[in-house]
């Protein structure tokens, strides 16, 4: 999960290499003008897979954003993965955001569940229940108290691959890398009802750096 930040996510290395090789071959065979569109595609691929190191807040009761993007929803709902009432904060990621997902809290993984599903626009409400998704339920110990935090990676209209690298029993540290979603998607964060939001709908957030709420 943790690895020295190479600026570009390892998930994208084969794709980046392939796009650059194709661009170079076309340049050699027919000239740079014909290859220009392929270089533009390569630039897009490179920016999509960027994975910069991030400063991580040390505030003990902070819940960090698991993804880059925009807050699209903050509301009280039922957390179907931990079977409880919860406060849900949803982060929508477009194709220009960093798509490496980070852990929101220190804790132990209690449950990992994958659900096949649809690929409707991740900006829609029904995406949380209808789309392909992967849920990680974490038991977070904060100031001597146990809190349940659920992180759900949700596929989107273009996103077709959810990657999750943690298993039940894993001990996680906030800010560490735990997954990746390719090409635009969403991450839902389910928190205890007592959590105090630090963001609002429409706010832009950064993975591992922005505090979504406090517990």
Asked, for residue 142, whether it belongs to a domain, the answer is yes
Supply the mean pLDDT for the chain.
Answer: 88
pLDDT of residue 146: 93
CA 166 to CA 25: how far, in whole Å? 39
* Digit-coded pLDDT (tens) for 5-33: 678 888 889 989 999 999 999 999 999 89
Active-site annotation, residues: 185
| Same-domain check for residues 39 and 100 | no
Give me the percent of the chain exceeding a pLDDT of 70.
88
| Same-domain check for residues 102 and 201 | yes
pLDDT band at 1 (very low <50, low <70, confident <90, very high): very low
Q: What's the rounded mean pLDDT across residues 80-84? A: 96
Q: Which domain holds residue 28?
A: 7-51
pLDDT of residue 41: 92
Asked, for residue 161, whether it belongs to a domain, the answer is yes
pLDDT of residue 129: 61
Asked, for residue 56, whether it belongs to a domain, the answer is no
The number of angstroms, rounded, from the C-alpha of 97 to the middle of its chain's C-alpha atoms is 10
Comparing CA positions, the residue from 199, 205, 167, 209 lying closest to residue 186 is 205
CATH number, domain at 169? 2.70.70.10
| Same-domain check for residues 43 and 97 | no
CA 170 to CA 157: how far, in whole Å? 30
Higher pLDDT, 76 or 123: 76
CA 184 to CA 173: how far, in whole Å? 25
Distances (CA, A) of 127 to 114, 121, 186: 15, 7, 9
Residue 86 three-state SS: strand
* Digit-coded pLDDT (tens) for 26-55: 999 999 899 999 999 999 889 888 888 889
* Number of structural domains found in the chain: 2
| Same-domain check for residues 90 and 145 | yes
| Same-domain check for residues 132 and 35 | no
* Digit-coded pLDDT (tens) for 144-182: 889 999 999 998 665 567 899 999 999 999 999 999 987
The reported pTM is 0.86
CA 196 to CA 215: how far, in whole Å? 7
For the chain, what's the residue count? 215
| Same-domain check for residues 84 and 175 | yes
CA 41 to CA 101: how far, in whole Å? 24
| Same-domain check for residues 46 and 68 | no
Residue 146 three-state SS: strand
Q: Which residues contact 50 (CB under 8 A, 6 or more apart)?
A: 7, 8, 9, 98
């Amino acid at each position: 999960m943790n690895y020295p930040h190479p600026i570009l996510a390892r998930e994208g290395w084969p794709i980046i290499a392939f796009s650059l090789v194709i661009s170079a071959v076309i340049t050699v065979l027919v000239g740079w003008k014909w290859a220009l569109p392929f270089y533009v595609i390569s630039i897009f691929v490179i920016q999509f897979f960027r994975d910069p190191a991030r400063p991580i807040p040390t505030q003990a009761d902070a819940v960090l954003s698991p993804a880059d993007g925009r807050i699209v929803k903050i509301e009280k709902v039922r957390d179907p993965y931990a079977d409880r009432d919860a406060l849900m904060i949803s982060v929508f990621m477009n194709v220009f955001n960093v798509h490496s997902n980070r852990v929101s809290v220190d804790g132990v993984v209690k449950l990992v569940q994958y659900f096949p599903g649809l690929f409707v626009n991740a900006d829609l409400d029904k995406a949380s229940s209808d789309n392909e998704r992967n849920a990680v339920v974490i038991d977070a110990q904060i100031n001597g108290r146990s809190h349940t935090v659920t992180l759900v990676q949700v596929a989107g209209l273009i996103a077709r691959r959810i990657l999750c690298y943690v298993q039940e029993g894993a001990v996680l540290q906030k800010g560490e890398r735990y997954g990746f979603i390719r090409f635009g998607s969403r991450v839902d964060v389910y928190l205890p009802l007592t959590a105090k939001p630090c963001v609002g709908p429409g706010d832009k957030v950064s993975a591992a750096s922005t505090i979504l709420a406090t517990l």
